[in-house]
Amino acid sequence: MRFSKNIASLVPSATLAISARAKQMKAAGESVIDLSAGEPSFPTPQVGIRAGSDFVGSGKSGYPPTPGIPDLRAAVAEYVNQSTSLGSAAPPNVLISAGVKQALFNATYCLFQPGDEVLVPAPYWPTYLAVLKLAGASPVVIPTSWETGFQLDVTDLDRLATPATRGLFLNSPGNPNGETYSRELMAEILTWAGERDLWVVSDEIYRRLYYGGDSATSAFDVPHEASRVLHLDGISKAFSMPGWRIGYAVGPEAVIGKMSALQSQTTSGAAAPSQHAALGVIAAEERDQIVGEFREVLRRRRDLAVESLTGVPGIECRTPSGAIYLFVRLTGTTDSMTVAEQLLVKGGVASVPGEPFGTPGFLRLNYAVSDEELEEGLARIRTFFS
Ligand SMILES: Cc1ncc(COP(=O)(O)O)c(C=O)c1O
């Protein structure tokens, strides 16, 4: 069958594929603990359930405005102003999308084109490479290392930037490594990018799932060339609502307008009930309390996972400062594809190998599952490696 050139190099999401396989195995009666999915296990917060079901109960069925319902755009602007140092976000700076994934696609498609190079630090969330290729742009991977805690080194950016470089993707705290950039590093990176007039697309979906305080440093927390920074966030992780599919972009009005135009020709925007559920949590008085409670449970699970896997032969792990993953280093091999396959088939645990993140030799384990699943999964991993 002939497909268009547009999708010649498109591969399905590796993390979603592994998680789908684990679900199939479970459905077939096999005992599998799924630590592969990138989602927290908490139920939707009550304020979100109420707001979503009130809207459904109202019987309203019209299209919502393409860039998002006005109250949600306003609530997101206020949330970003309160929780970062930006202070100047207003509704026209906000686009509501069907998850950060759609916001990221819109941003990439609007900002980059064939011939453009965009810097992407590794390990990276695989979707960054996929969307850049869909836009015809060229991702340029910036290696980072386990030894330095996967911190970005500005001298590497300098080394790999060319006259064709147009942008830089950031993801702190990061998926899959859970590492966070300090305020100093974030400032250094944004100064570097600002001097070169680059777009910085800062995916901050794990910003509130940071164990060193209430929130990790945002690109909006450091002095920056405001006309060139796009902040992406949503409700999938901090509010444990991935299935509601709501994310947002905050940035210059002109870019948000173009992203909205693209959205008007693709999806017409995010589903109205989901937008109302998102408004319920983002505008809630108890918003920060909800995130804080999730964070404390996740901190306990993270510590349990690190303690349980420390000293296990064949793997090394460190305590990540954010997100919901342990990124475990294999000490005897770099072929993490094979190890993940064996861990699934022989050990009964689904994990994600390092290869799709651009760093072979690692396994990503999601510790945001129930306590019972986590304990059983960790016990199986210990047995498998021992
Ligand atoms: C770094 C990162 N960005 C974005 C997303 C997707 O977010 P959403 O569910 O809002 O599309 C994920 C999900 O795993 C992620 O890890």
To which H or E segment does residue 49 belong?
helix 46-57
pLDDT at position 370 is 95
Atom of ligand 1 nearest to the CA of 39: 14
Task: Name the DSSP class of 242.
Answer: G
Our mutation pick for probing the ligand 1 site, out of 101, 179, 248, counting the most ligand atoms within 8 A of Cβ, is: 101
Rounded distance from Cα 232 to ligand 1 centre (Å): 9
Query: Amino acid identity, residue 80?
Result: V
CATH superfamily of 5-44+288-385: Aspartate Aminotransferase, domain 1 (3.90.1150.10)
Cβ–ligand 1 distance for 125 under 6 Å, the answer: yes
Rounded distance from Cα 205 to ligand 1 centre (Å): 7
Q: CB-based contacts of 140: which residues, under 8 Å, 6+ apart?
A: 117, 118, 119, 120, 160, 165
Give the closest residue (by CA) to ligand 1 atom 14. Answer: 38
Cβ–ligand 1 distance for 117 under 6 Å, the answer: no
Rounded distance from Cα 170 to ligand 1 centre (Å): 13
Which CATH number is 51-285 given?
Answer: 3.40.640.10
Our mutation pick for probing the ligand 1 site, out of 125, 207, 357, counting the most ligand atoms within 8 A of Cβ, is: 125
Cβ–ligand 1 distance for 247 under 6 Å, the answer: yes
To which H or E segment does residue 231 belong?
strand 229-234
Our mutation pick for probing the ligand 1 site, out of 100, 128, 248, 352, counting the most ligand atoms within 8 A of Cβ, is: 100
* The domains spanning 5-44+288-385 and 51-285 adopt the same CATH topology: no
Cβ–ligand 1 distance for 241 under 6 Å, the answer: no
Question: What backbone torsions phi and psi does residue 21 show, to the nearest 5 degrees?
Answer: -65, -40
How far apart, in whole angstroms, are the C-alpha atoms of residue 305 and residue 303? 5
Query: Amino acid identity, residue 153?
Result: D
Cβ–ligand 1 distance for 175 under 6 Å, the answer: yes
Dihedral class, residue 189 (left if φ above 0, else alpha if ψ from -120 to 50, else beta): alpha
Give the closest residue (by CA) to ligand 1 atom 7. Answer: 100
Task: Flag residues of the chain having pLDDT under 70.
Answer: 225-226
Q: Are 364 and 320 in contact (CB under 8 A)?
A: no
pLDDT at position 226 is 57
Cβ–ligand 1 distance for 340 under 6 Å, the answer: no
Domain segments of the chain as ranges: 5-44+288-385, 51-285
What burial class does residue 94 get, using C-beta atoms within 10 Å of its C-beta: 0-12 exposed, 13-18 middle, 19+ buried?
Answer: buried
Q: Helix crossing, 99-111 with 253-266: angle to 10°?
A: 110
Cβ–ligand 1 distance for 242 under 6 Å, the answer: yes
Q: Which of 196, 198, 215 is nearest to 207 (CA)?
A: 215
Atom of ligand 1 nearest to the CA of 242: 9
Rounded distance from Cα 109 to ligand 1 centre (Å): 17
